[in-house]
Each structure stands twice: as C-alpha cells, then as structure tokens.
Amino acid sequence: AQSVAQPEDQVNVAEGNPLTVKCTYSVSGNPYLFWYVQYPNRGLQFLLKYITGDNLVKGSYGFEAEFNKSQTSFHLKKPSALVSDSAVLYFCAVGAGKSTFGDGTTLTVKP
Amino acid sequence: NAGVTQTPKFQVLKTGQSMTLQCAQDMNHEYMSWYRQDPGMGLRLIHYSVGAGITDQGEVPNGYNVSRSTTEDFPLRLLSAAPSQTSVYFCASNGLAGADEQFFGPGTRLTVL
C-alpha cells in the first residue's frame, strides 16, 4: 500500500522569505509524485511532478520540489514567498489515477 | 476544451434518498477517479476507472456505485444517502497511468440531512 504524510497542517512564512512544505511518502517501486494546490471552493490544480530524472523539478508559479529517495521525501519549495501564495491548501500525492493524497498543508505568507 | 465538468455544484439530500453525481471530460483520458474531501482528511479515493467498461474500488467505496459506459462520462451514484456522506466530491481524469497529472473538476458539495 502507498501512503503520503504531510507533517504540518500549517506553514507560516514572511513575504520574500523561502518556503518549504514537507511531504514524505511510502510506496513500493518507483514513485510518481505530485504537488497540487487548491484555492477556496475550487478543485485541485497541478503544480509539478516527479517521474524520473533530475531530483529538483520545477513547476508553476515559481514552485519547485526536491525528490530525495533515501529520505523518501518530496518537499515543495519556493525561493521567495508571495502573499498571493497563501490562503490555499497544498497537497502532496503519490501515483495517478489511483492516487493517495496527503492531508494538505495551509500556507500563510505574511506581508 | 472544457476539461472536467461536474454537476450539480450543490445538492442537499435527505437520509435514504438516492442521486447521481455527473462527471464528464473531453480530453480523451483513460483514467477517471472519484474522490471525497472531508475537513482535515485530504482526498480519499472512492472508485476509479481505467477505461470504458472497467471500474474498481478505491479506499472508501461503500455506499457508492459507478459505471463507465463511455470514455467521457463517469457518474457516481449514491444508493441510499447517509449523513456520513456529507462531503465535497471531486472527479478527476488523467492519461497514462502513474505518469500523468490529474485534472480535477470544480467539485460537488453534498449535504445529507
């Protein structure tokens, strides 16, 4: 069985500072890992994915994620946070079609 | 392309009533999935389909039925609604299994009284 953990319900960061939203996973075989963002009263939108290749993947809105096989982690990062990045839920997921999602992390960026 | 569409957007049912949540996609995706989202619990997979005529159960299938007669449509049926089924329901689709990202519909907010 596959599983995903997002250990932080909420992440707070000041505007302009780097942000990290943590995700760890458990899956047999090669992982297909995804990050999605959900705005209030909306469906999820795709940010980025890791399938194979470079451990650092870049996605939409300046976000990137680092895949670490030894630590089974796939943390979402952004070098400089914007206020507009906040007030949403960020979800980490493993697999597609039969995906397992983390419980989500709310990001708050303070001006 | 309209992407993934869901109807209705909101629905209130009484306990014991049945209804069908509609989902359609126009991207010719093989995979379609239904999730429910409850506060603090992320998304949980109800049923999924790998193509027309093929469906399978996810993590929380009890109380729900699905069918996939066409590539485009994947309706979710609540057989006898219960208050525990109050949730937000999302339909999603994607291409090749395991590699493609999912496209999500806007969701249906269901309340069962």
Rounded CA gap, B83 and A92, in Å? 28
Is the Cβ pair B43, A51 closer than 8 Å?
Answer: no
Q: pLDDT (tens digit, 9 = 90+) per residue, A34-73?
A: 999 998 878 899 999 999 888 999 999 999 999 999 999 9
pLDDT value, residue A40? 84
**B100 confidence band (pLDDT: 50, 70, 90):** confident
Q: Which of A44, A52, A90, A105 to mutate to test the interface with B (most CBs of B within 10 A)?
A: A44
Q: What is the mean pLDDT of residues A79-93?
A: 92
Written as one letter, the residue type at A58 is K
Residue matched to tokens 């470079």? A54
pLDDT score of A96 more than 90? no
The 3-state DSSP composition of chain B as helix, strand, coil percent (nearest 5) reads 5, 50, 45
Rounded CA-CA distance B43/B90 in Å is 9
Question: CA B93 from chain center: how many Å?
Answer: 10
pLDDT over 70, % of chain A: 98
All residues of chain B having their beta carbon less than 8 Å from the beta carbon of residue A99 are: 33, 43, 45, 102
pLDDT of B56 > 70? The answer is yes
Nearest to A43 among B59, B101, B106 (CB): B106
Instruction: Say how far apart CA B79 and CA A23 lie, in whole Å.
Output: 36
pLDDT at A53: 86
Q: How many CB atoms lie within 10 A of CB A110?
A: 11
Asked if the model's pLDDT at residue B98 lies above 80, the reply is no
CA distance B3 to A31: 26
What pLDDT is stored for residue B97 in this prediction?
62
pLDDT of the residue at A28: 87
Q: Is the pLDDT of residue A30 over 70?
A: yes
Q: Could you identify the residue written with the tokens 């940010």?
A: A47
Q: DSSP label at B91?
A: E
Answer yes or no: is pLDDT of B3 > 70. Answer: yes
Which has the higher per-residue pLDDT, B48 or B99?
Answer: B48
Q: Which of B76, B86, B28 is nearest to B48 (CA)?
A: B76
Residues B102, B33 contacting (CB under 8 angstroms): yes
Residue A97 confidence (pLDDT): 67
At residue B21, does pLDDT exceed 90?
yes
Are the C-beta atoms of residues B94 and B53 closer than 8 Å to each other? no
On whether the CB atoms of residues B83 and B113 are closer than 8 A, the answer is: yes
Instruction: Give the mutation candidate from A3, A91, A98 for the B interface (greatest B CB count, under 10 A).
Output: A98
Mean pLDDT of chain B, nearest integer: 93
